[in-house]
Chain A
Amino acid sequence: MNGCNHMGHLTPALLVDLAEGIKAEHSVPHLARCDACRRALAELRTTMADVAGPGIPEHSGCDVPEPSPLFWDHLSTRVREAVAEQGAHGRAHWFEAWSRPLVALPILATVTATAVLAVVTLRKPPVPNPIPATPLPILQSTLLPSLPPLEPLGAPDDPALALMADYGTSLGWDELREEMAGVSHSGAIDEAVITLSTEERQELQRLLEEEMTQPSALGAS
């Protein structure tokens, strides 16, 4: 690009460069032989000088009144306030958006359903392991061939059998089954202790102390 337009004159960009001194006049030979371009350049320089004023731009004819130093203090305060206000408005806008029925109702319904489900699940008592109605299979001697054969039950001189017989007559098996089912969940032992009477607790304590004072118990601990 030689800086001339289709009429052969200098382009606006080149004239601006010449007027501002970015390009030297002697570097553009066209200027020496074109009165129109010289005139255009002279007018451009005159207008620039008029707009800028005599010399330095800050002393020009359309200089800006300098605001007082207090203006800058107030400006920073105003900007801070605007930022805070926008933040508050943003939070309010967020709440407003979330409080719209179309948004809030499905969310509220979901949260409520989840909460109800959680409560129902947590409050449902654990299903106790059912005690089989049929007696558990007794180990057969074929499984443990090394053990001696069991003594036949019902020997009349066995005191343990007499004790069991007493228990058997006084104990309701259905009640025992329910009781066993009730204490099968975690924490059931604590609950059972709480339900004991004072005499029963004292007896339990005595039995435990007796058990602990035995040499085998101490040795184990």
Chain B
Amino acid sequence: MMQLVLSRTTLIWLLLIAATAASVAMGHGMGVHAIRGAGAAIIVVAFIKVRFVILDFMEVRHAPLPMRIVGEAWVLLICAALILLYLKGEAIV
């Protein structure tokens, strides 16, 4: 039972909670210039969280290699595309 609670899963859950708190804090008390950086950082943190969910909760870390590659590629591609779109939008203002 203790092994079940003191697991990697629990550690990751705590990390995810901490990352959520950090993301919420990042949206506050920023100057106009810092907002762009904070926005991009929030997207990066979201996808770091998503990667942990995919690799550890969904157990893709130990899945057949093609599955892991698809998972990693999705995280990387969508995260990069979203940051580009976000920064492009900010640049217009």
* Chain A bound to chain B: no
Residues of B within 8 A of A (CB): none
Could you tell me which A residues sit within 8 Å of B by CB distance? none
